[in-house]
Amino acid sequence: MLRKEAVGMIETFGLVFALEAADAMCKAADVELIGYENVASGYITVIVTGDVGACRAAVDAGISAVNRMEDGNIYSSIVIARPHGDLQKIIDKYAIPNL
């Protein structure tokens, strides 16, 4: 469940880049790792929640971490402040239990 005011997401290609993004995001700010979505053909979206400032800091840190890696590439990123409650349905579908 979204515990605070915002949700932050980074989409990249490949598990190694997604793990690097998730690690940097969780270390950079007080966010909770909700999980990831494996969209298709190796595209992976990492999802965090927290307050707006923490999500923004986490997404920025994740983008920087992936961009520093050889062949690292961010395809998209977003911070959604006060996400609509129905977004929870999508996040729940892709959440990893016991993460």
Q: What is the pLDDT of residues 3-40, one digit of tens each?
A: 569 999 999 999 999 999 999 999 999 999 988 887 77
> Does the pLDDT of residue 80 top 90, yes or no?
yes
Rounded Cα gap, residues 73 and 96, in angstroms = 24
* pTM of the predicted structure, to 2 decimals: 0.86
Best CA proximity match to 14, nearest among 35, 47, 51, 40? 40
- Domains annotated on the chain, with CATH: 6-94 (3.30.70.1710)
